[in-house]
Structure 1
Amino acid sequence: MSNEQVIADLHSRWVFGWEREQGDAPFDFRRTFDEFYDFDSPDVRLYDDFDPEQRVATTAVAYGAIWEPAFRKMVSARHAVDDGPHVVVGGELAASTLAFVARITMPDVVTDIRTTTSLVWHRTPKGWRIVREHNSSKELPTGALDGMRARADLARTQM
């Protein structure tokens, strides 16, 4: 498999690491994303504007601390890839972009979003790991993703 294919596969699998179903074990960022993020690098910068405080994490552990509380409260989070991944690789670094849609169900509200995500990957002895992340999300009209689960299941079978 080429480096481009490896990164494309990693980015696609990364999206679905954020999936949650009612009754899942409590969300554990490190356990879920250990193969994706560089937990040892001092060069990590991770940002997602879906974070209400719009923090920039400088470690994977700090990024996990942003998301664990919200993901532990979620009833479900369902995702479908909308575009990509698109990958470029050069030496020890690679970049990938991907757009996805998601339905986030909290106990009191359902939110549909479309997110464009850009990741920078660094080749480490453990494999390719994320050292930069930027996600930009747009909230969609209520109900925009009705029927998304069937589309997501179809997309996964075609990967």
Structure 2
Amino acid sequence: MTDENDTRAIAELHNRWVFGWERDEGDAPFDFRHAFGEFYDFSSSDLRLYDDFDPEQRVATTAAGYGSIWEPAFREMVAAHHVVDDGPHVVTGHELAASTLTFVARITMPDGATDIRTTTSLVWRRTPDGWRIVREHNSTKVLPAGDLDGVLRVGP
């Protein structure tokens, strides 16, 4: 695979990763491994995965550990809708690649909705099974209520 093909592959993966977090009312219970098994290296113990939207701001060192941070909230969630706002911007090497993009989302919980803008940076490692996330850093800003009205789709 050429660097250009790797760059396209990483861009496509990062875009698909964003929409793996989508939730619609009535969806089956959120299962992190089912949703993200093709993205994270579940066999690695040298991961560093962080998202400041986690109220406890934990750093996970395994994909399963990262899933345990997000499964409770996403199982309680009514809906989550995303739009990529910028990117992805990708650099690739032979064994590692990095991608950054910004998305906006509306997260709807039983008690109301929160609009956010998140910049996400992922480091990918080439494995025998394809590119897998080994580093993740997400920085999120909560937007004013209703800021994304008319920007996001609603429903399936």
The TM-score normalised by the length of structure 2 is 0.95
Match of 1:157 in 2: none
CA-CA distance at 1:113 after TM superposition: 0.2
Q: Distance in 1 between matches of 2:78 and 2:151?
A: 16
User: Is residue 91–residue 99 contact of structure 2 (8 Å, CA) maintained in 1?
Assistant: yes
Please point out which of 37, 58, 65 is paired with 1:34. Answer: 37
Match of 1:15 in 2: 18
Q: Distance in 2 between matches of 1:69 and 1:148?
A: 27
SS at match of 2:152: helix
Residue 140 (str. 1) matches residue 146 (str. 2): no
CA-CA distance at 1:149 after TM superposition: 2.3
Please, which moves more after superposition, 38-47 or 120-129?
38-47
Question: Per-residue displacement from partner, 1:70-112 (whole Å, max 9, x unpaired)?
Answer: 0000000000000000000011000000000000000002100
- Equivalent residues, number: 152
Whichever residue aligns with residue 139 of structure 2, its letter is S
Match of 1:107 in 2: 110
The TM-score normalised by the length of structure 1 is 0.93
Q: Distance in 2 between matches of 1:42 and 1:89?
A: 23
Residue 89 (str. 1) matches residue 96 (str. 2): no
Match of 2:78 in 1: 75
Sequence identity of aligned pairs in percent?
75
Residue 51 (str. 1) matches residue 54 (str. 2): yes
Whichever residue aligns with residue 2 of structure 1, its letter is N
Whichever residue aligns with residue 137 of structure 1, its letter is T
Q: Which has the higher helix share?
A: 1
Unaligned runs of 5+ in 1: 151-159
SS at match of 2:54: coil
Please point out which of 119, 124, 128 is paired with 2:131. Answer: 128
SS at match of 1:149: coil
Q: Distance in 2 between matches of 1:101 and 1:88?
A: 23
Q: Distance in 1 between matches of 2:125 and 2:68?
A: 22
